[in-house]
């Protein structure tokens, strides 16, 4: 994939479908136009969260652990006194991550013991071996004589001969306990048993793992135990763990400068700067302006001196001021101070005493005296005074024009009104129409043949 940026326009070429779960693997080449020279650059990857990625040597590493659709854009800026003074921002373009194996959280097998469990098991077995004495006991009989043979953990064999004897009135064998053998008689029963041994190598039927006898020091490799490592840092298969030992092995995500020319565009060479001593010398070389009083101007003067020459007069205006510039004298003023356009303290105090305080300035009509006869909404009109008129029964106001007019009623509503209600033209027409219609109806019911009584 390649990102081409022309001015503030971003175009993605060869938009590759990435696999999620990869780390420091996908690298995007970024090509910038000349507008971006000397700018600090970074990319913004927008998905479920917004990630800021550094652009180093026009390269960008894109890591994403989860699949999905993302947008990416680029920003370049300059800084002065830790504040951005110039910045370019591109549009956002889509890039895609399909589900990769590294995104899947796989479970470890539950039936395989871990190496710590194996070490514990072997340690417990060794403790049993260390506590044993004899590892083998056999008994045999020949010619009326019984022989008991014991083998200790060093492999030493001891045979003990047992003769006839009488125990508790019963004729039996005479039993003598040899090395690592104990005898215990209870009534007519004689119990022969081997004592504990600490000689594990001499034991028979020693335990085995993967058909390897547990004898001596055995490693997991000797026992055929190969505990599989499923992954390292999310990577499977043959994994090589890379440990960086040089700065060039690291991603410069904090913007450290290198010796590349484009990274030094905003830095001065040592030859272009001054040392503290050099700056002090330059400051001391600056000529300071001084004032000198002379009775008359000399033939020439110093450029860093203001010459005061006395003049006729008294009070504050007693000197003319000159400087020597371009090989001639230039009058730059005098010591007279014109205060004619300034207030004295007494004048200022008088003006302040006559001012109105902000708190004294009225902000409501109720704070003012109504000397113009304005009418309030509670001052109602009468036969002798102007005022607010209320709309009574029979009047209406047009909400658009504000014109007052009479309400038009039909014949039935008109009949229900009081005699004081004003009559509109429309109301009169409705009443006449109703009455004329009633008369015409009555006439049609008369018997015109018999005449009108």
* CA atoms within 13 A of residue 223's CA, in its CB half-sphere: 19
Confidence of residue 167 (pLDDT cuts 50, 70, 90): very low
Residues 175 and 196: their CA atoms lie apart, in Å, by: 20
Contact 104, 96 (CB under 8 A): no
Least confident of 67-76, 333-342, 422-431: 333-342
Three-state DSSP class for residue 284: helix
CATH fold for the domain made of 2-103? Immunoglobulin-like (2.60.40)
Is the pLDDT confidence value at 87 over 60?
Answer: yes
* pLDDT at residue 144 in the model: 59
Q: Is 345 exposed, middle or buried, given 0-12, 13-18 or 19+ CB atoms closer than 10 A?
A: exposed
**Residues in a beta bridge with 87:** 77
Q: DSSP secondary-structure letter at 14?
A: S
Instruction: Give the residue carrying structure tokens 């003769």.
Output: 163
DSSP H/E element including 351: helix 345-353
Residue 108: what are its φ and ψ, rounded to 5°?
-75, 150
Question: pLDDT at position 115, please?
Answer: 65
pLDDT tens column, 116-136: 766 776 676 766 666 666 566
Flag whether the pTM goes above 0.75.
no
Across 85-94, 207-216, 232-241, 366-375, the highest mean pLDDT is recorded for 85-94
Structure tokens at 118: 């194996």
Mean pLDDT of the chain: 78
Q: End-to-end distance of the chain based on CA atoms, in angstroms?
A: 116
Check: CB of residue 164 under 8 Å from CB of residue 171: yes
State residue 135's pLDDT score.
Answer: 60
Of 16-25, 291-300, 339-348, give the lowest mean pLDDT range.
16-25
Tens of pLDDT, residue by residue over 264-309, are: 666 777 778 888 888 888 888 777 888 999 999 999 998 889 999 9
Closest CA to 310 of 319, 301, 321: 319
Q: What is the pLDDT of residues 231-247, one digit of tens each?
A: 676 677 666 777 888 88
Do residues 251 and 54 touch, judged by C-beta distance below 8 A?
yes
Q: Looking at residue 34, what is its pLDDT? A: 92
Please state, in angstroms and rounded to a whole number, the distance separating the CA atoms of residues 99 and 181: 71
pLDDT number for residue 76: 93
Cα→Cα distances 11→3, 15, 39, 95, Å? 6, 10, 19, 11
pLDDT band at 171 (very low <50, low <70, confident <90, very high): very low
Indicate the DSSP class of residue 269.
-
pLDDT value, residue 452: 47
Structure confidence by residue, pLDDT tens digits, 365-396: 888 888 887 877 777 777 777 777 777 777 88
360 pLDDT above the threshold of 60: yes
Per-residue pLDDT at 335 exceeds 80: no
Domain ranges of the chain: 2-103, 133-202, 290-334, 374-445
Decide: residue 318, CB within 10 A, 0-12 exposed, 13-18 middle, 19+ buried.
middle
SS3 426: helix
Cβ atoms of 33 and 8 within 8 Å: the answer is no
Report how many helices (DSSP H) and strands (DSSP E) the chain contains, helices first.
5, 24
Q: Sign of dihedral through CA atoms 384, 390, 395, 396?
A: positive
Predicted local distance difference test score (pLDDT) of residue 143: 63
Residue 199 CA, distance from chain mean position: 66
Tokens 């047009």 -> residue: 398
């Amino acid at each position: 994939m390649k990102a081409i940026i022309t001015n503030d326009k971003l175009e993605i070429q060869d938009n590759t479908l990435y696999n999620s779960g990869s780390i420091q693997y996908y690298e995007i080449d970024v090509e910038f136009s000349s507008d971006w020279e000397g700018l600090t650059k970074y990319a913004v990857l927008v998905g479920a969260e917004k990630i800021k990625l550094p652009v180093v040597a026009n390269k960008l590493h894109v890591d994403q652990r989860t699949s999905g659709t993302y947008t990416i854009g680029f920003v370049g800026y300059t800084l002065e006194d830790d504040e951005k003074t110039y910045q370019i921002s591109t549009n956002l373009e889509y890039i895609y991550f399909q589900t990769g194996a590294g995104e899947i959280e796989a479970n470890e097998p539950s039936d395989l013991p871990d190496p710590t469990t194996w070490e514990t098991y072997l340690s417990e077995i060794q403790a049993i071996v260390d506590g044993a004495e004899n590892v083998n006991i056999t008994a045999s009989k020949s010619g009326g004589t019984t022989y008991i043979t014991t083998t200790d953990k060093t492999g030493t064999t001891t045979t003990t001969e047992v003769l006839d004897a009488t125990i508790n009135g019963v004729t039996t064998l005479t039993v003598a306990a040899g090395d690592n053998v104990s005898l215990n008689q209870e009534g007519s029963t004689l119990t022969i048993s081997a004592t504990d041994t600490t000689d594990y190598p001499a034991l028979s039927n020693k335990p085995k793992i993967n058909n390897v006898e547990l004898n001596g020091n055995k490693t997991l490799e000797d026992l055929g135990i190969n505990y599989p490592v499923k992954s390292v840092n999310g990577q499977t298969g043959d994994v090589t763990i890379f440990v960086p030992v040089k700065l060039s092995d690291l991603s410069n995500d904090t913007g450290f400068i290198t010796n590349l020319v484009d990274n030094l565009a905003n830095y001065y060479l040592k030859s272009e700067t001054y040392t503290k001593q050099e700056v002090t010398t330059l400051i001391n070389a600056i000529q300071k302006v001084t004032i000198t009083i002379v009775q008359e101007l000399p033939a020439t003067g110093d450029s860093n001196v203001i010459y005061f020459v006395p003049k006729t007069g008294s009070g504050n205006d007693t000197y003319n001021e000159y400087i020597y510039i371009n090989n001639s004298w230039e009058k730059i003023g005098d010591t007279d101070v014109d205060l004619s356009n300034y207030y004295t303290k007494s004048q200022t105090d008088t003006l302040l005493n006559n001012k109105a305080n902000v708190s004294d300035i009225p902000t409501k009509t109720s704070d003012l005296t109504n000397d113009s006869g304005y009418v309030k909404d509670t001052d109602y009109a009468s036969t002798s005074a102007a005022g607010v008129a209320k709309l009574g029964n029979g009047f209406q106001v047009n909400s658009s024009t504000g014109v007052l007019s009479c309400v038009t009623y039909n014949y039935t509503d008109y009949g229900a009104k009081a005699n004081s209600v004003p009559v509109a033209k429309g109301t009169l027409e409705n009443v006449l129409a109703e009455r004329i219609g009633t008369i015409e109806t009555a006439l049609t019911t008369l018997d015109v043949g018999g005449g009108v009584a």
